[in-house]
């Protein structure tokens, strides 16, 4: 049976520490897959014109491509080059809800996230988002300092 672990990255040093912790944990498990996840904070509750929505959709797709190429793909490549089973996911949404959904959709049994960030991720993940993630996630959450 394969154990799956979701690792929430944010493109900062703290995300790298979370990834390092997950990598160490995965090395101790015989069959483990790491789900490297990046969530772009996004609210669907904006009232706009059809033209504004079209621009927003294009920007959203660009953000996914940037996050994938700059953060997720390099992390997945480094993991697979080191012999780990890993795949990446980039989605828009509420950080806590989306990480939990990614985790359950992939059948993962744990979420690992970093504690502090330099780019505002702290507010997103350690404000109400982390509290919500820790309190409402369907699986255990490990917060790496």
- CA separation (Å) from 99 to 27, 39, 132? 22, 7, 11
pTM here is 0.85
Residue whose tokens read 């997950």: 22
Q: Contact at 8 Å (CB) between 100 and 138?
A: yes
Which domains can be identified in the chain, with CATH numbers?
A: 10-120+132-144 (3.40.50.620)
Q: Taking the CB of residue 141, how many other CB atoms lie within 10 A of it?
A: 21
Q: pLDDT class for 70, splitting at 50, 70, 90?
A: very high
Sign of CA dihedral 49, 54, 55, 61: positive
Cα 52 from Cα 58, distance rounded (Å): 10
Strand order in the sheet with 3-9: 85-93, 32-41, 3-9, 110-114, 141-144
Residue whose tokens read 């806590």: 96
Q: What is the pLDDT of residues 1-21, one digit of tens each?
A: 899 999 999 888 888 999 999
Q: Contact at 8 Å (CB) between 6 and 108?
A: yes
Q: What is the pLDDT of residues 76-129, one digit of tens each?
A: 999 999 999 999 999 999 889 999 999 999 999 999 998 755 455 545 554 557
């Amino acid at each position: 049976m394969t154990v799956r672990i979701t690792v929430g990255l944010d493109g900062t040093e703290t995300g790298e520490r979370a990834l390092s912790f997950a990598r160490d944990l995965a090395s101790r498990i015989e069959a483990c897959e790491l789900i490297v996840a990046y969530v772009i904070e996004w609210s669907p509750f904006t009232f706009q014109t059809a033209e504004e929505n079209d621009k927003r959709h294009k920007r959203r797709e660009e953000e996914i491509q940037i996050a994938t190429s700059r953060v997720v793909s390099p992390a997945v490549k480094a993991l697979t080059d080191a012999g780990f089973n890993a795949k990446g996911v980039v989605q828009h949404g509420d950080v806590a809800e989306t990480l939990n959904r990614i985790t359950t959709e992939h059948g993962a049994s744990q979420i690992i996230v970093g504690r502090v960030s330099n780019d505002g991720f702290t507010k997103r993940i350690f404000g109400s988002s982390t509290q919500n993630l820790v309190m409402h996630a369907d699986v255990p959450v490990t917060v790496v300092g």
